[in-house]
Chains A and B, each alone.
Chain A
Amino acid sequence: MPPAVKTTQAHAGQQPATEAVQEPSVAEDDPSSAPNSAAPNTATPNYADYAVVAARHPWRWVGTVIVVALAAAVLYSLVSNPRWEWGVVAQWFTAESILRGLGQTLKLTVISGSLGFLLGFILALMRLSSSPLFSSVSWTFSWIFRSTPLLVQLLLWYNLGYLYETIRLGVPFTSITFAEFQTTSLISQFAAAVLGLTLNQAAYSAEIIRGGILSVDQGQIEAATALGIPRWRRSTRIVLPQAMRAILPTAFNEIIGLVKGTSIVYVLAYSELFYTVQVIYNRTQQVLPMLLVATIWYIVITSVLSIAQYYIERHYSRGALRTLPPTPLQKLRSFISTHAPIRSTASSTASNTAPKGQS
Chain B
Amino acid sequence: MSLAMNEVTTRGAIAVRSVDKSYGTTQVLHEVDLDVAAGEVLVVIGPSGSGKSTLLRTINHLEKVDRGTISLDGELIGYKVRNGKLHERRESEILAQRTDVGMVFQNFNLFGHLTALQNIIEAPIHAKGVAKATAVARAKQLLARVGLADKADAYPRQLSGGQQQRVAIARALALDPKVVLFDEPTSALDPELVTEVLEVIKDLAKSGTTLIIVTHEIGFARDVADRIVFMDGGRVVEEGTPAEILGNPRNERTKSFLSKVIEPAFNI
Contact = CB atoms under 8 A, between A and B. Distances in A.
Contacts of A316: 113
Interface stretch (B140-148, B151-159, B229-237, B245-253): B151-159
A227 B98 contact: yes
A153 B237 CA distance: 65
Contact of A222 (B109, B113, B114): B109
Interface in B98-120: 98-99, 101-103, 105, 107, 109-115
A87 interface: no
A227 B105 CA distance: 12
Nearest to A226: B103
B157 A223 contact: no
Interface string A185-220: 000000000000000000000000000000001011
A244 B13 CA distance: 41
Contacts of A319: 112-115, 155-157
Q: From B60, B102, B110, B126, name the one whose CB has the most chain A CB atoms within 10 angstroms.
A: B126
B62 A318 contact: no
Given A219-B105, A237-B122, A319-B156, A226 B113 contact: no
Nearest to A245: B113
A13 interface: no
A316 B111 CA distance: 13
B198 interface: no
Interface residues of A, number: 24
A230 B98 contact: no
Nearest to B95: A228
B123 interface: yes
Interface in A51-88: none
Contact of A320 (B60, B62, B112, B175): B112
Nearest to B98: A228
A322 B158 contact: yes
B175 A228 contact: yes
Given A226-B98, A227-B171, A227-B175, A318 B155 contact: yes
B127 interface: yes
Interface residues of B, number: 33
Contacts of B101: 226
Interface of A is mostly: helix
Contacts of B115: 319
B263 interface: no
Instruction: Among B96, B111, B114, B156, find the residue whose CB has the most chain A CB atoms closer than 10 A.
Output: B111
A346 interface: no
A316 B112 CA distance: 11
A227 B181 CA distance: 12
Given A226-B98, A228-B123, A220 B157 contact: no
B62 A223 contact: no
A316 B113 CA distance: 8
A312 to B, nearest CB: 14
A242 B112 contact: yes
A11 B98 CA distance: 66
Contacts of A333: none
A111 to B, nearest CB: 29
Interface centre among A220, A225, A226 (most CB of B within 10 A): A226
A272 to B, nearest CB: 37
Contact of B99 (A227, A233, A320, A321): A227
Interface string A115-142: 0000000000000000000000000000
B92 interface: yes
Contacts of B103: 223, 226-227
Contacts of B157: 319-322
Contacts of B107: 219
Interface string A289-323: 00000000000000000000000000010111110
A238 interface: yes
Contact of A220 (B60, B111, B128): B111
Interface in A142-196: none
Nearest to B171: A227
Contacts of A233: 126
Nearest to B154: A319
B91 interface: yes
7 contacts: A223-B103, A223-B109, A227-B127, A228-B175, A242-B113, A319-B114, A320-B112
Interface of B: 60, 62, 91-92, 95-99, 101-103, 105, 107, 109-115, 122-123, 126-128, 155-158, 171-172, 175
Interface of A: 217, 219-220, 222-231, 233, 237-238, 241-242, 316, 318-322
Given A223-B105, A227-B127, A320-B157, 7 more contacts: A217-B109, A220-B111, A227-B103, A227-B172, A228-B127, A230-B126, A319-B156
CB-based closest 6 A-B pairs: A223-B109, A227-B123, A228-B127, A319-B155, A228-B98, A219-B109
